Amino acid sequence: MDPTTDNGPTGDPRDPRASLEALRAEISKAVVGQDPAVTGLVVALLCRGHVLLEGVPGVAKTLLVRALAASLELDTKRVQFTPDLMPSDVTGSLVYDARTTEFSFQPGPVFTNLLLADEINRTPPKTQSSLLEAMEERQVTVDGTPRPLPEPFLVAATQNPVEYEGTYPLPEAQLDRFLLKLTVPLPSRQDEIDVLTRHADGFNPRDLHAAGVRPVAGTADLEAARAAVAKTSISPEITAYVVDVCRATRESPSLTLGVSPRGATALLSTARAWAWLTGRDYVTPDDVKALALPTLRHRVQLRPEAEMEGVTADSVITAILAHVPVPR
């Protein structure tokens, strides 16, 4: 996924596509060379989905989410996931008030628009599961009472793919709740030179306001953009193509687990959002291909023997895209 040129009136705040293009440009003031990840976050916002960012330490995963939060007029909170973090530390709990002799609910950090779940795989499954209801139902149930979360609501979680000591792999059920899994790679040589040049010129990643990052979009812009995405047409041939791609993963000899119908629905949604972002009011097979890897890579499971041979989820999905007939 690469950034594309906005086809709407540049700078017109009433044009939702222009607002989201401005959002992508604003994030680039703080983050260098991670355009696909930036675009993925914007797609997730359009689809009301959640994002898992995976990359080695030091590639700006947390900075990317913080820059997104600083570019939006939305409430945001951050939770550092650690082995001793309890579910109530995320969702909130009932607190006894000695003055009224009653229990009152104290909301946790999940009651926000943009939740940064930093190093989510460092906390035990019990605490990880506290996010399941929030991510799927967009509510939190405490003491039998469901409490709705703000709208919009997005979880952006980060994890380190190379250090497994002291970590707890996310269960398949929770992985499937993430709309996208975005890999954040090491920067190219020129991008790394640009990063160092910015730091030499005084850039402080802890002070995004000083770096010039300002809110350029808000709830109204997101709602207008989502309404526009919903009007993007999807032909029956494209729907069938998405189904064929996902069904092919269930028949792959390299996989023990293929993509579920939820994954197929997610791929259709992300392809639709990407088509709209690129300035079209219809979805093409190329839109499906562009979003297939980030939408599906975390929804499949490799056979141990395939993994030992160096096969990856990305390579399996790429091979499937090359073999499934493309509608004309």
pLDDT tens digits, one per residue of 266-283: 999 999 999 999 999 999
Tell how far CA 274 is from the center of its chain.
Answer: 14
Residue predicted with more confidence, 118 or 2: 118
The Cβ of residue 202 has, within 10 Å, a number of other Cβ atoms equal to: 9
In tens, the pLDDT along 75-106 reads 889 999 989 999 999 999 888 877 877 888 88
Q: Is the pLDDT of residue 324 over 90?
A: yes
Top-ranked range on mean pLDDT: pick from 79-93, 211-225, 242-256: 242-256
Q: How confident is the model at residue 6 (pLDDT cuts 50, 70, 90)?
A: very low
Q: What is the predicted pLDDT for the residue at 74? A: 82
- Greatest distance between any 2 Cα atoms in the chain: 70
Distances (CA, A) of 270 to 18, 179, 221, 232: 19, 8, 18, 12
Whole-number percent of the chain with pLDDT over 90: 56
Q: Which amino acid appears at position 24 of this protein?
A: R
> CA angle, 75 as apex, 63 and 294 as ends, to 5°?
50
113 SS3 class = coil
In tens, the pLDDT along 138-184 reads 999 888 889 999 988 999 999 887 766 667 888 888 888 999 999 99
Over residues 38-50, mean pLDDT: 94
Mean pLDDT of the chain: 89
Q: What is the predicted pLDDT for the residue at 165? A: 66
Q: What is the predicted pLDDT for the residue at 143? A: 82
pTM: 0.87
Q: How confident is the model at residue 241 (pLDDT cuts 50, 70, 90)?
A: very high
